[in-house]
Amino acid sequence: MTSLPKGTDISVQERRYPTTPASMRSFLNAFFARHFFQVQDSILQPEAFERFCNLLRKGEVNIVDIGSGPAVASLAVLDLINAINESGYRVRSNVNIVQNDSSAVCLQSSTNMLSAFRRRTGGVCVIRDPICIDVPFPDSLTQIRRISSFIGRYDLCFVSYVLDAFKKEMTHGEIGLRIKELLGCCADNGLCIILQDKFRESLIRQAGRLQGASVHKARLTQKVYDNENSNAEQLYTYFRTTVMLGSESEDHGVLTRFCLQKKALMRCF
Ligand SMILES: C[S@@+](CC[C@H](N)C(=O)[O-])C[C@H]1O[C@@H](n2cnc3c(N)ncnc32)[C@H](O)[C@@H]1O
């Protein structure tokens, strides 16, 4: 992040949707950690986590991330795999990552950050070079489909903090239908996580409803280093929809907080 230029007048819009190196720095400062931990928090819910562990056991995991930004969701997944490995349970999985973002700066940063992660961790997982699609969603669906025809269906699908951007181009109903099309490229036992902040509740509720999944209001407390570096705690509220693909049940609502407990891991590996 220190290699990115400091911006003086970064607007709220630029910070949320970075298109320059300076606004990327600002995004990383303001949102990266928040969204990263919300992705992990969503995966760590009992039913989702069990499915996640089963996917890892397959030996090959394909991730598709729409509006990927600087690889936020993929890095959250890789960090979780690392944590599982460090706890003594060896996960030997090849990871294919498909990043879709309409901003070239985001795709460049995501590639750099994934390379840095790979260098730093080494790990037992083979993280292949990410495949980047710069065509905006939903036009990107053609490429997403084509890629899945040679790497295989997607096991993990993320739509994190991008619904609001879609709203400028599509109606709520259309967004839901396009996400449904995206889920058509996902594996039967796959997992799709949609996240959005508390200010876009109706948008995520509709998107979730159209996928037959309920939406949950979640709270996550994080330590943040503010300008005074005072290590303050902040409580963030967000909404998540977890779609369990191919599942009999339509509603996977009652998911409670879950941690990387040895017992849970033992069940899965
Ligand atoms: C708020 S950021 C979220 C980034 C990341 N998913 C996260 O959770 O932190 C939204 C991202 O979506 C991208 N984006 C906006 N509209 C898009 C579209 N139609 N298709 C693909 N990406 C889009 C922006 O460039 C930006 O990187």
- How does pLDDT run across 60-70, given as a tens digit for each residue? 999 999 999 99
Count CB atoms within 10 A of the CB of residue 240: 24
Q: Between vectors from CA 208 to CA 166 and to CA 96, what angle results, nearest 5°?
A: 70
Burial of 30 (0-12, 13-18, 19+ CB in 10 A): middle
Nearest CA to 39 out of 11, 84, 77 is that of 77
**Ligand 1 nearest-atom number relative to CA 65:** 6
CA distances from 145 to 133, 142, 153, 163, 181 (A): 12, 5, 9, 20, 9
How many residues make up the chain in this entry? 269
Domains contained in the chain, CATH given: 19-268 (3.40.50.150)
For residue 245, the CA-to-ligand 1 centroid distance in Å is 23
In which band, very low, low, confident or very high, does the pLDDT at 258 lie, cut at 50, 70 and 90? Answer: very low
Q: What is the pLDDT of residues 148-159, one digit of tens each?
A: 999 999 999 999
Mean pLDDT, rounded, for 91-103 = 92
Range from 87-91, 100-104, 227-231, 265-269 carrying the lowest mean pLDDT: 265-269
Range from 84-88, 97-101, 132-136, 147-151 carrying the lowest mean pLDDT: 84-88
For residue 92, the CA-to-ligand 1 centroid distance in Å is 30
The helix (run of H) or strand (run of E) holding residue 187 is strand 186-197
Q: What is the pLDDT of residues 109-147, one digit of tens each?
A: 999 999 999 888 876 678 899 999 999 999 999 999 999
**Ligand 1 nearest-atom number relative to CA 101:** 22
- pLDDT of 255 > 60? The answer is no
Mean pLDDT, rounded, for 193-215 = 90
**CA dihedral (139, 140, 141, 145) positive or negative:** positive
pLDDT given at position 256:
36
For residue 230, the CA-to-ligand 1 centroid distance in Å is 30
Give me 159's structure tokens.
């739509």
Question: What 3-state class would DSSP assign to 154?
Answer: strand
- pLDDT of 242 > 90? The answer is yes
Nearest CA to 26 out of 9, 44, 43 is that of 9
CA gap 46, 260 in Å, rounded: 10
Q: What is the pLDDT of residues 161-198, one digit of tens each?
A: 999 999 989 999 999 999 999 999 999 999 999 999 98
Ligand 1 — pocket residues by CB below 6 A?
16-17, 31, 35, 66-69, 72, 100-103, 106, 136-137, 160-162, 165-166
